[in-house]
Amino acid sequence: MMSEKKRMHPAAIVVAFFKQLRELLFPIIIFVFFGSSSGEGFFSIIYIAVMVLWFTGLIVIGVVSWYRFYYWIEDGELRMEYGVFVRKRRFIPQERVQTLDTSEGIIQRIFGLVKVQIETAGGGTEAEASLTAVTKEEASRLREALLYYKNKDEIGDVYGPKLPVQQEISTEPVEQPTYKASWKTLFIVGTTSGGIGVVLSAVIAFTSQFDQFVPYEDIIDRFGMVLQTSVYLIASIVFVVLFLSWLISIVMTMFKYGNFTVIKQDDELLISRGIIEKRQLTLSLKKIQAIRISQNLLRQPFGFATVYVESAGSSGGKESDFSTVLFPLLKVSEVEAHLKEFVPSYLLTQEVHGLPKRSVIRYLIRLMVPAALLSIPIAYFFQPYGYLAFLSVVVAGLLGYSQYHTAGWATQNEQLQLSYRHLSKNTVLVRKKRIQSFELRESFFQGKRKLFTIKASVKTGLGGKNFQVVDVEQLDGEQIYEWYSYKKKQEDVM
């Protein structure tokens, strides 16, 4: 059965205009600053004409793109036609659709619309299809058609499953597991996130563009003596910049994750968040490939962790390292209970097998030797303060020992649990049937000490993710491999 061809809401023209404007923001700024100062008279007329043509072109392209874009559903496929100069068609089979996400930006909220992103397994870093402006009712029908439609015999129309004529409707309310992040929780998330580095870089880059308008050299000439003699003034300026960057990072986090809610409905998780831009993600429990529990250096001392989901859908709308945030902040002691409630097939165990003592020297060497090699020339050429560079060797040693102490593994029924650290501590839970490949690797020096590196790979939207623990006891590595390959061996015997 075929649905009629449809266009998006005309608000898609506005969305497309601002999207192109954002992508061309940098060249527009350059043109405005340098073009406006190119002269007067004839050059000013040319400048104004170019700006008018530029913006007119963006509007015309947006209108034509909207007018020539159609979508419809036919034979269990979402089909699209689009293209201004070259006509293109795209077909997305229903069985490839992993998730259908909706979000509401400022433009969509003004018109009461939503943006729909359709993600498929192995879809890469972008959504497979994006409908930037459709009604909420249309988004609901698309969800029914693409996620719940199984075959032609089960549907009454192209947009959803055919319902039985007689149904027994239960009058008893069903309590659904729900998690909602409080504003206090989000404040802690922003306070302990690593976003301050990004914000600080943006602040420095932004202020560096004003050297043509702010007379920095005059300021330095007039107040040079004050700046040279007042260490407190310089320290105060640095403190103010860092403090403002920290506050901006907190505000951005709270806007991004405001109203963060997770609701479990049958075998799906509905994740919604955002204040200015509201986003909603529907995640099937069957598509979860792994659970990752992460503690960065700021959160671990206070016993906080963030829980991520590694799923088979593409990475559109994903967060850290292209993973979906399941719980932005939990006490470590609460993680196990929340996993049982929302993803009961993943169990967190505290009985983790650590690494042998002979592994610790390898962890220390891997970090301390490069730090020492970098510190020696610094100390030699920048005496006496250059000797402070050797503090990095101490820091590297502490980090190496922490990596050794964190690393470990555990198997529990059909689940593998791996723990490791780069800077953040990570604990990964992955079901045996979700492991795409398992590898035991042994280098020359590992062979001398009877050690293995174990690596488990799962399928994600970017093609795959690898989780590994380095320098595991050789017998432990063989035991994990035996656990992973046992089912295959049994099938071979049968």
Domain identity same for 322 and 435: yes
Domain identity same for 207 and 141: no
Domain identity same for 351 and 367: no
- In the chain, how many domains are there? 4
**What does the DSSP assignment read for 96-130?**
GEEEEEEEE-HHHHHHTEEEEEEEETT-TTS-SEE
- DSSP count for the chain of H helices, then E strands: 14, 21
Q: Say if residues 440 and 477 touch (Cβ distance below 8 Å).
A: yes
Domain identity same for 250 and 156: no
Distance between CA atoms of residues 424 and 296, nearest Å: 4
Domain identity same for 411 and 398: no
Domain identity same for 243 and 275: no
Domain identity same for 417 and 393: no
Distance between CA atoms of residues 388 and 403, nearest Å: 24
Domain identity same for 299 and 439: yes
DSSP classification of residue 148: I
Beta-bridge partners for 117? 101, 130
Full residue range of the structural domain in which residue 385 is found: 357-404
Domain identity same for 270 and 318: yes
Per-residue pLDDT of the chain in tens (494 residues, 90 and over written 9): 456 889 999 999 988 888 877 776 666 666 655 555 555 556 667 767 777 887 888 888 889 999 999 999 888 888 999 988 888 888 888 888 877 888 888 888 889 899 998 887 655 556 788 899 999 999 888 888 887 654 444 444 444 444 443 444 444 556 788 999 998 998 888 888 766 555 555 555 545 444 444 454 555 555 555 555 555 666 777 778 778 878 888 888 888 888 999 999 888 899 999 888 888 888 888 889 999 999 998 899 999 999 999 887 644 445 555 688 999 999 999 999 999 999 999 999 888 999 999 999 999 999 999 999 999 999 988 888 888 999 999 999 999 999 999 999 999 889 999 999 999 999 999 999 999 999 999 999 999 999 999 999 998 766 678 999 999 999 999 999 999 986 554 444 44
Domain identity same for 393 and 426: no
Question: 72 to each of 90, 103, 104, how far by Cα in Å?
Answer: 11, 21, 22
Domain identity same for 390 and 442: no
Q: State which of 257, 284, 317 marks the end of a domain.
A: 257
**What does the DSSP assignment read for 313-370?**
S--TT--GGG-EEEEEEEEHHHHHHHHHHH-TT----S--B---GGGHHHHHHHHHHH
Element (H, E) at 420: strand 415-421
What's the sign of the alpha-carbon dihedral 121, 126, 128, 133?
positive
Q: Say if residues 79 and 71 touch (Cβ distance below 8 Å).
A: yes
Residue 214 domain flag: yes
Q: State which of 196, 222, 257 marks the end of a domain.
A: 257
